[in-house]
């Protein structure tokens, strides 16, 4: 599909990538590339409310990434799917999307939910993967893009590029700082010169390296002079609590929301995590990362940065089934493997 000619109105395109954190971050380089190629385009983004704070960002040239953020209250809808308030909320979103008169919708998620939301916009064209994550999603697409790329960042560029008729190469966006979160972080790290941030979550159990091993990593890094912080979503974050307990005083938990997490990661010397949002956020912010991978393939879902070391056992097999127990191959990665990789990326303490 050719790009609009100069004498036509700027293209109005809606990106649909509802969540989660890492997936949104992996979609952003494609949108940044579109902004660089088509600075005049009006770009909207439909996103789950809790991830919307990621989208205030700019390209390397200083252009805003997104012109209009459409908040999608997925959690509320899921909690009360048959509630009249949910119906009203969906109708309100439909009015909001249609008011923008989008020419094109591009689904970078490929689920039934995301394709349904994209369809609400009633755009003339709707593009998505020919092989979406959930096959029924494709029934809404007027343009189905065959995927040849391996990494999801490159796949997003391929889908979006095909939809607008341009070849897109990933362009890393610059995430904007949140002033309140930065001030909060000043207080948290005011007496800390260099610290490592651990994040033990993983979306589902099979991706989660045991928290007791994260605790042991904290011990090893603390013995070498590094302060270790453990990111916690709230005071009920069981995984974070288990990491801190296993560290025997070598790590301290820090409860933080998404903007506060970003502020911490900007200042961290290293982030150690599995295939989870904080790992990809650290990568997007330019912080070195050690990724601990099991059932997900880092060739497809790895952190999109040069400052990384990825650990994955040859015993691991790719499986996106949401098993509760840690994947067997993941358990072949030792505490010593993780500490050694971290020290490779960390600058020695004088």
Rounded average pLDDT over 244-249: 98
| pLDDT reading at 5 higher than 80 | no
> Could you confirm whether domain 179-345 is CATH 3.40.50.2000?
yes
| pLDDT reading at 6 higher than 80 | no
Rounded average pLDDT over 215-243: 97
Residue 350: per-residue pLDDT:
66
Residue 193: per-residue pLDDT:
85
Rounded average pLDDT over 43-69: 97
Residue 1: per-residue pLDDT:
47
Residue 82: per-residue pLDDT:
87
Rounded average pLDDT over 69-88: 95
| pLDDT reading at 328 higher than 90 | yes
Report the chain's mean pLDDT, rounded to a whole number.
96
d(CA 166, CA 159): 10
| pLDDT reading at 3 higher than 80 | no
Its sign, for the CA torsion 154, 156, 160, 163, is: positive
- Per-residue pLDDT of 35-53, as tens digits, reads 999 999 999 999 999 999 9
| pLDDT reading at 7 higher than 80 | no
CATH fold group of domain 12-175? Rossmann fold (3.40.50)
For the chain, the C-alpha Rg in angstroms (whole number) is 21
> Where do the H-state alpha helices sit in the chain?
21-37, 74-79, 84-99, 112-120, 152-164, 179-189, 211-223, 238-246, 258-267, 277-284, 298-301, 335-345
Instruction: Please list, residue by residue across 8-20, b when 16 or more beta carbons sit within 10 angstroms of its beta carbon and e when fewer do.
Output: eeebbbbbbbbbb
d(CA 65, CA 260): 21
Going by C-alpha positions, the residue among 270, 273, 241 that lies closest to residue 348 is 270
Rounded average pLDDT over 276-303: 98
Whose structure tokens read 């095909």?
Answer: 162
Residue 347: per-residue pLDDT:
80
Better pLDDT: 299 or 82: 299
Going by C-alpha positions, the residue among 175, 42, 15 that lies closest to residue 109 is 15
| pLDDT reading at 95 higher than 60 | yes
Q: Within the chain, which residue ranges are assigned CATH 3.40.50.2000?
A: 12-175, 179-345
Rounded average pLDDT over 67-89: 95
- Per-residue pLDDT of 190-212, as tens digits, reads 999 899 999 999 989 999 999 99
Q: What is the DSSP letter of 211?
A: H
Q: Which helix (H) or strand (E) holds 141?
A: none
| pLDDT reading at 306 higher than 80 | yes
102 pLDDT band, cuts 50/70/90, is: very high
């Amino acid at each position: 599909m050719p790009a609009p000619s100069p004498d036509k109105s700027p293209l109005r395109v809606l990106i649909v990538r509802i969540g989660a954190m890492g997936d949104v971050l992996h979609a952003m380089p494609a949108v940044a590339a579109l902004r660089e190629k088509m600075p005049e385009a009006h770009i909207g983004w439909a996103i789950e409310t809790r991830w919307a704070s990621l989208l205030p960002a700019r390209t390397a040239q200083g252009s805003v990434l997104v012109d209009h953020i459409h908040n999608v209250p997925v959690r509320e809808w899921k909690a009360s799917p048959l509630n009249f308030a949910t119906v009203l909320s969906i109708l309100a979103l439909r009015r909001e999307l249609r008011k923008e008169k989008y020419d094109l919708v591009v689904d970078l998620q490929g689920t039934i939910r995301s394709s349904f939301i994209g369809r609400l916009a009633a755009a003339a064209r709707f593009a998505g993967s020919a092989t979406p994550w959930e096959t029924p999603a494709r029934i809404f697409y007027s343009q189905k893009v065959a995927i040849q790329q391996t990494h999801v960042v490159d796949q997003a560029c391929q889908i979006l590029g095909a939809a607008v008729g341009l070849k897109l190469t990933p362009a890393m966006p610059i995430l904007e700082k949140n002033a309140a979160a930065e001030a909060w972080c000043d207080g948290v790290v005011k007496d800390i010169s260099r610290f490592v941030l651990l994040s033990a979550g993983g979306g589902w159990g099979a991706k989660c390296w045991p928290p007791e091993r994260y605790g042991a990593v904290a011990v090893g890094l603390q013995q070498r002079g590094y302060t270790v912080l453990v990111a916690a979503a709230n005071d009920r974050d069981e995984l974070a609590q288990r990491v801190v307990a296993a560290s025997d005083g070598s790590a301290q938990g820090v409860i933080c929301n998404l903007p506060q997490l970003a502020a911490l990661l900007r200042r961290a010397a290293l982030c150690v995590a599995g295939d989870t949002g904080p790992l990809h956020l650290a990568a997007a912010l330019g912080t070195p990362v050690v990724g601990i991978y099991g059932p997900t393939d880092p060739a497809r879902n790895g952190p999109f940065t040069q400052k990384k070391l990825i650990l994955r056992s040859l015993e691991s097999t790719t499986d996106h089934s949401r098993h509760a127990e840690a994947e067997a191959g993941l358990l072949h990665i030792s505490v010593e493997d993780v500490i050694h990789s971290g020290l490779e990326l960390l600058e020695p303490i004088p």
